[in-house]
Amino acid sequence: MNSSPSYININKEWDIVAARQLARDMSKKLGAGTVDQARIATAVSELARNIYLYAIDGKIYIEAIEKMERRGIRIVAEDNGPGIPDISLVMEDGYSTSGGLGAGLPGVKRLMDEFNITSEEGKGTIINTIKWVR
Amino acid sequence: MDNNLKRIVIDNSESIVSMWLKEISLLKEYNHTAGISKESFEVTNREFVEVIFISLKNQGSMETVQKFSEKIIKLGWPLSYITDGLQVFRRVTIDFILKNTEQVDTDQFSTILESVDLWIEPIIRELVNEYSGSWEHIVSLQRVALQELSAPLIPVMEGITVMPLIGTIDTERAKLIMENLLDGVMQHNSEVVLIDITGVPVVDTMVAHHIIQAAEAVRLIGAKCIVVGIRPEIAQTIVNLGIDLGDFPTKSSLKKGFMTALEITNRKIIDLDSKVEHTKNIIESLKGE
């Protein structure tokens, strides 16, 4: 029963709010607890903000999934931005090119259950994450 | 030619109006006017088509159009009703003229199209401008109202100030928070500032970063910052994100933060009853001697 993904275009700061509201609503519908709701909303916030800050334009897909009796929420962040030259560097805590805390991507990895990132320089970045709802 | 066409339209206004009314009521379901009562729909339709004809007769005078748009905006009619109404009017009028002219060649046809467009377009433009103008006005008013709400600072008592934050924090608001916080600390001569984030739905790295910076700036001007209202789920996401909020005290509720603030400023809350009780005890014990 995989429902079709909804997505939000990210190109303004307020789109970040729209994306995480959608994620929160969907996780609520799936029966996630308040802590998981907060984790999912925060992860979406980070991913959307990365798009807004570095790629300027991109999409956040939010989808309810079901696999082997488990239900969860899949969040895909996709952009056609400059790409990430060294992925292992951005997955390090404290690395930031924008003067931020540098906790965004490693934080998302810890907030979610599955995390997968592919990036090509000059082409863009795709981050695929799943949170299973207990 | 143009005047000739206009005369045809004005002379036959009755039949054009009835055709228009029939068409527009078919559209009722599609242009968000379904919720409007039948009577008021009919009254407004009559008025609308009258306004169109008055503007036609008066050679494009916009006064009646403006009055009508003001009224209809106030009542909250959708813009799609207006645009649909005028499109239908254009179609109906062209239909009518074509049916009542013998032999139409291409030249005449394009003249008819052009002159009807010339009547309708200024009305559409005027109405759409009025609508978008009123929206822009509302948006700008709301922006001002939001800004006033975005970073309030409340001096609770000598030396203690509270800044309650509710809702999403974006870059612009973060800037305001910082400015108001520092101005307020100077102005009220605060020793302790409590930033209450109970109403902030999501604390991501950016929000945390802004809070850390604000707290650090407050420290630099010689006051202490306590972040309060950290809900359990927010505490967990902050830990997951690996954010270090260890440079300043944090509390789960405003109440606890306020107690800490009192301690810092060398004060405490005393229950008056127990004080009375205490004095009574002393008096009692004196009597015994």
Domain ranges of chain B: 2-147, 154-273
Q: Where are the beta strands (DSSP E) in chain B?
A: 154-157, 160-166, 192-199, 224-228, 250-251
Q: List CB contacts (< 8 A) between B209 and chain A.
A: 100-101
Q: CB-based contacts of B267: which residues, under 8 Å, 6+ apart?
A: none
Banded model confidence at residue B221, pLDDT cuts 50, 70, 90: very high
Q: Does B167 touch chain A (CB under 8 A)?
A: no
Tokens of A108: 């998302």
- Span A85-112, average pLDDT: 85
Q: List CB contacts (< 8 A) between A110 and chain B.
A: 240-242
- From residue B136, alpha-carbon distances to A83, B161, B232, B260 in Å are 37, 36, 40, 46
Give the number of beta-carbon pairs within 8 Å between A and B.
69
Intra-chain end-to-end CA distance of chain A, in Å: 17
In angstroms, the CA B221 to CA B219 distance is 5
The answer to whether B234 and A38 are in contact (CB under 8 A) is yes
CATH of B2-147, one of 1.10.490.10, 1.10.3210.10, 3.20.20.450, 2.60.120.260: 1.10.490.10
Give the chain B residue nearest A105 (alpha carbons).
Answer: B241
Interfacial residues of A (vs B; Cβ cutoff 8 Å): 13-14, 17, 20, 24, 34-35, 37-39, 41-42, 45-46, 49, 93, 100-104, 106-107, 110-111
- Please report the pLDDT score of residue B288 as a whole number: 65
Does the pTM surpass 0.95? The reply is no
Amino acid at B270: I
Q: Can you name the residues that pair with A9 across neighbouring β-strands?
A: A59
Which range is most confident: A77-81, B44-48, B142-146? Answer: A77-81
Q: List CB contacts (< 8 A) between B203 and chain A.
A: 42
Give the chain A residue nearest B210 (alpha carbons).
Answer: A100
Element (H, E) at A132: strand A124-133
Q: List CB contacts (< 8 A) between B236 and chain A.
A: 35, 38-39
Q: List CB contacts (< 8 A) between A34 and chain B.
A: 233
Q: Where are the beta strands (DSSP E) in B17-65?
A: none
Q: Which residues in chain B (93-152) have CB-CB distances under 8 A to chain A?
A: none
Which DSSP category does A97 fall into? Answer: S
In angstroms, the CA B51 to CA B66 distance is 10
- Please report the pLDDT score of residue B34 as a whole number: 64
Q: Which of B205, B243, B244, B245 to mutate to test the interface with A (most CBs of A within 10 A)?
A: B205
Q: Does B240 touch chain A (CB under 8 A)?
A: yes
Q: CB-based contacts of B23: which residues, under 8 Å, 6+ apart?
A: B88, B91, B92
**Residue B241 to residue A111, Cβ atoms within 8 A:** yes
User: Is the pLDDT higher at A133 or at B287?
Assistant: A133
Rounded to the nearest integer, the mean pLDDT of chain B is 85
Domain ranges of chain A: 6-133
Q: Does B241 touch chain A (CB under 8 A)?
A: yes
The answer to whether A131 and A72 are in contact (CB under 8 A) is yes
Q: Does domain B154-273 have CATH number 3.30.750.24?
A: yes
In tens, the pLDDT along B130-139 reads 888 888 999 9
Q: Does B245 touch chain A (CB under 8 A)?
A: no
Q: What is the DSSP string of B217-240?
A: HHHHTT-EEEEE---HHHHHHHHH
The minimal CB distance from A93 to the residues B168, B236, B242 is found for B242
The answer to whether A52 and A15 are in contact (CB under 8 A) is yes
Q: How many other CB atoms are found less than 10 A from the CB of residue B122?
A: 15
The CATH homologous superfamily to which domain A6-133 belongs is: Histidine kinase-like ATPase, C-terminal domain (3.30.565.10)
Does B32 have pLDDT greater than 70? no
Phi first, then psi: give them for residue A94, nearest 5 degrees. 90, 0
The answer to whether B61 and B130 are in contact (CB under 8 A) is no
Does A32 have pLDDT greater than 50? yes
In angstroms, the CA B181 to CA B160 distance is 12
Instruction: Give the residue from A82, A70, A94 showing the smallest Cα distance to A122.
Output: A82
**What is this model's ipTM?**
0.84
Banded model confidence at residue B40, pLDDT cuts 50, 70, 90: confident
